[in-house]
Structure 1
């Protein structure tokens, strides 16, 4: 493995048009799971100038029968959509939570998909789709995440907090960040470049107001990155294109599922290609990506490696995973195949079947909207939220390998 190199990751804010779409889709997942924990949801969202469009396939008690909506649910869906847009902060002429046009094209789930996924007779619940999913963890940050994506997320989170509490009232919701770090001996030691593009109030693209915005951004970055990472040689690119007044869905259309690298590890690990948002946890695109992160994080937390990638694969309608692969990148204290055997032998994981994953992590709950911005990983497990970030399996792994 290379030990000295530059590496870059990017993040986008909750006001980025694709993230607006992700948050709406996950708010719909939460709405339906709150009514029926076994609801099936595949919700796609399109956002553009003064318009939000939903499409997809759903099933759930008290939600929809065939293509007939339960009384009042269509209004709840619309209210949920407008509430998300309002919470993000969009009350602009080109995208306003109260006056935007809303269209709902959600409909009942295909019976052919249902028959493959549902449990019946002696058949256990099968995977909601075929595919490969990856989890990753490393010891670069306390969150056991790659440093470049961790810092990129935290910069935008702080900016959103400051926008909403009035500390930086000149900011608008849409923004992007990018952090480049220099690695020596495999560890991040310095920041060589920062890119931040943020939507702003009129006038903050020239003169004293532009200088105020630039100084503010540098202050946020300086607080997020470790002491000494910013040097005189760090390159700064703040709103490098100039004015950024028109933004969000008014500036560029947004779609659910287009920020899968931002959602995961910033390019520092493989990705199976499936998006998360808008999908209930029977979809292994989501739940298996969560369990592989959980496993990789616990491997590192247990001191079995400083870097770990885990892959798992499924076939639609089949409950048992087709493969499990562990790679500790030469950092493991035990052989990778031994870790695989240990994972397979931990009974509480339920054989890593879709039902076993959902049961162990407690995924059939309305817990997803908060994951749809600033990354699904590297977050704080609290109550029912982000259960895949817990490190409560570390002791089991160590015991199995002792």
Structure 2
């Protein structure tokens, strides 16, 4: 886990995540019992909406998508986006899945989910997003960027879209100065293959869930394979990450270890998962079963996550920005 990988919210995959979370949030605003599994594909000329939803909400999905494009790109980074075609193929959720959620929220599918805690890694990821936020305020870069931060080599490689090559040295110097504020002397490489002026969906296709490892704490941490974005809270791919990460934090404090990985196993219909914990100390790994007795339904009530605007979480950088406020 020496290298952290992150991408901007204007990366096509993250933008697809953003739309899928907007679909979730808008449904929950009108119907807190909504069941949502929203999938999005974004191209230069078409935005395709798929997935399964059970909801009483009445939503203008075409308007939702255009508002999302305007907020993230606008005409500056996606000229004439008003001509983009919106295809809505969202279907009703299976009645068999709806039936198992009647009395209380239970796991809507089987899944293996991981939560993680390491304070230094959390702080480094948040630091990187804050530095890039400062960069975007200083230079007219596009919201599409991607970086690799190698902590061992003390090197940042970053590709930013939307600025001419003559600006690259200024960005390089600015980033080095930002790192010095955190007492870090970092070798910075900006746009290693030269100018990158066409980004976002104009140059690449975006898919919900294709940046799973970004939501898995910057890559290098175990991931169960399920997409976090666009899911309601009966979908343990989403809720399980939050439960397991908070549990990892709790165990790190109790056992005074720096790094904890928590694995949850849910069968469809489960209220409570099976839990395996791995702690790491002095290059040794210790594994044990953990007795966890809080039901999915009760955890959702306790955490008050129905009120969170998950689309704004994506714009900030992802699930870690929600976790940083609850891991206290």
TM-score by length of 1: 0.74
1:324 maps to 275
C-alpha distance in 1 between matches for 2:135 and 2:233: 31
Structure having the higher helix fraction is 2
* Alignment partner of 1:134 is 2:110: no
Task: List gaps (5 residues or longer) in structure 2.
Answer: none
* Alignment partner of 1:91 is 2:75: yes
1:119 maps to 102
Bigger Rg, structure 1 or 2? 1
Structure 1's 377 and 178: CA in aligned 2 closer, same or farther, altered over 3 A? Answer: same
C-alpha distance in 2 between matches for 1:221 and 1:313: 43
C-alpha distance in 1 between matches for 2:89 and 2:301: 31
C-alpha distance in 1 between matches for 2:112 and 2:177: 38
TM-score by length of 2: 0.89
CA contact (8 A) 2:216 2:222 kept: no
1:372 maps to 314
CA contact (8 A) 2:54 2:93 kept: yes
C-alpha distance in 1 between matches for 2:243 and 2:77: 42
* Alignment partner of 1:7 is 2:29: no
1:383 maps to none
Match of 2:210 among 244, 258, 266: 258
1:281 is paired with a residue whose SS is: coil
C-alpha distance in 2 between matches for 1:377 and 1:225: 27
2:142 is paired with a residue whose SS is: strand
1:170-189 alignment runs, 5 A limit: 171-182=141-152
CA shift at 1:99, angstroms?
3.0
Structure 1's 96 and 293: CA in aligned 2 closer, same or farther, altered over 3 A? Answer: farther
Structure 1's 35 and 359: CA in aligned 2 closer, same or farther, altered over 3 A? Answer: same
1:26 is paired with a residue whose SS is: helix
1:239 maps to 191
Structure 1's 297 and 327: CA in aligned 2 closer, same or farther, altered over 3 A? Answer: same
What is the count of residue pairs matched by the alignment? 326
C-alpha distance in 2 between matches for 1:265 and 1:93: 28
C-alpha distance in 2 between matches for 1:57 and 1:151: 36
1:214 maps to 169
Match of 1:307 among 259, 263, 275: 259
C-alpha distance in 2 between matches for 1:200 and 1:271: 32
C-alpha distance in 2 between matches for 1:266 and 1:43: 23
CA contact (8 A) 1:135 1:309 kept: yes
C-alpha distance in 2 between matches for 1:57 and 1:388: 30
Structure 1's 106 and 388: CA in aligned 2 closer, same or farther, altered over 3 A? Answer: farther
CA shift at 1:318, angstroms?
2.4
CA shift at 1:35, angstroms?
0.3
Structure 1's 150 and 34: CA in aligned 2 closer, same or farther, altered over 3 A? Answer: same
1:223 maps to 178
CA shift at 1:374, angstroms?
5.0
Match of 2:37 among 38, 42, 48: 42
Structure 1's 55 and 262: CA in aligned 2 closer, same or farther, altered over 3 A? Answer: same
CA shift at 1:95, angstroms?
5.2
1:199 maps to 161
Structure 1's 248 and 85: CA in aligned 2 closer, same or farther, altered over 3 A? Answer: same
* Alignment partner of 1:105 is 2:89: yes
* Alignment partner of 1:78 is 2:68: no
CA shift at 1:38, angstroms?
1.0
1:395 maps to none
Task: List gaps (5 residues or longer) in structure 1.
Answer: 1-5, 64-69, 183-190, 345-350, 380-385, 393-402
CA shift at 1:266, angstroms?
1.9
2:210 is paired with a residue whose SS is: coil
